[in-house]
Amino acid sequence: MNKKPNLAVVGATGLVGSTLLKVLEERNFPFDNLYFMASAKSAGKRIAFKGKEYVVEELTENSFDKPIDIAFFSAGGSTSMKFAPIAASKGIVVVDNSSAWRMDPKVPLVVPEVNPQDVSWNNGIIANPNCSTIQAMVPLKPLHDKYKIRRIIFSTYQAVSGSGLKGIQDLKEGLAGNDIMKAYPHPIAGNCLPHIDSFLENGYTKEEMKMIDETKKILGDDSLRITATTVRVPVFDSHSESINLEFEKPFDLEEVKSLLKASPGCVVQDDLANNVYPLAREVAGKDQVFIGRIRRDESVENGLNLWVVADNIRKGAATNAVQIAELLIK
């Protein structure tokens, strides 16, 4: 693209949509015209962006008749299923934040530090992976390239902002002594819920299967053996993950640390003598993926443990989407 692109943001008034605007501004993303779209109930709202006020319009089947180059979708799966193909048919590239298109073989699933080349074969839709998958892929890709991962065990500790404004409200109210349950089937304050998204017939949740399936697709390796347990915890922002890896090749621990330090998007915080390791509160608001507690798994040959923390609304959603758009305009 030689000219500055025209952008649309669908779901502009939600948690991810509003963060996306913040990231576009911080990264000084170039654009000519900007359109905001949302459901009928949000239409007419005003959004200030870069010193200008915009009116949110209702998303309809005619919304994409305008000259738009890139459309960010953050309005849920059913909206994406219906409207992304309409936008794509008009020559617009959709960067979609929902789960609607992630496992479609004709749609690239992209983490820019990991598989930027996959942007090139899009047919008008590029999927943003699940938040918990994105942050895991950033450190796993260089390790897989070097040592070949054989097996992965994901255990996640996921923030309530992953459930949007309702999740944040549940925790705020719970901490104030009111057990409201708008986002979850149980109180979240003082609790850990081993239940993110709905349960499937195999006993896993959809969130767990997303991590398993998306990891194979992004790393381009169906032979990987992966299991996951995803847990919602009473933390406002940033997902934390314990990742256990089994490699085919032996590794040197210092070499692993050096490799991660040199990898794009990774920040190593691993100074145990001074109690330095990634913390959700400190990572909130940042765009990198933070890695610590890097140690051997002594129970298995070529085993490694990592503690991985990232801001789930930024790198796990908004920032990753903007990075994809940056690849497109390159």
- What band does 3 get if pLDDT is binned at 50, 70 and 90? confident
Phi/psi at 313 (nearest 5 deg)? Answer: -85, -30
Distances (CA, A) of 42 to 14, 57, 75, 174: 10, 8, 12, 27
Longest dimension (CA), the chain: 60
Q: Looking at residue 8, what is its pLDDT?
A: 98
pLDDT at residue 2 greater than cutoff 90 = no
Catalytic residue, candidates 144, 186, 239, 266:
239
The reply to whether 266 belongs to the active site is no
What are 147's two structure tokens? Answer: 């040592």
Q: pLDDT (tens digit, 9 = 90+) per residue, 32-76?
A: 999 999 999 999 999 999 999 999 999 999 999 999 999 999 999
The reply to whether 239 belongs to the active site is yes
Nearest to 308 by CA among 193, 143, 175, 145: 143
CA distance 322 to 328: 10
- What band does 1 get if pLDDT is binned at 50, 70 and 90? low
Q: pLDDT (tens digit, 9 = 90+) per residue, 125-162?
A: 999 999 999 999 999 999 999 999 999 999 999 999 99
Q: What is the pTM for the complete model shown?
A: 0.96
CA distance 117 to 153: 27
Q: What percent of the chain is modeled with pLDDT above 70?
A: 99
User: Concatenated DSSP letters for 75-95?
Assistant: S-HHHHHHHHHHHHHTTPEEE
Distances (CA, A) of 85 to 10, 57, 123, 183: 14, 19, 10, 30
Q: pLDDT (tens digit, 9 = 90+) per residue, 217-268?
A: 999 999 999 999 999 999 999 999 999 999 999 999 999 999 999 999 999 9
> In the chain, what are the domains?
7-128+317-329 (3.40.50.720), 132-313 (3.30.360.10)
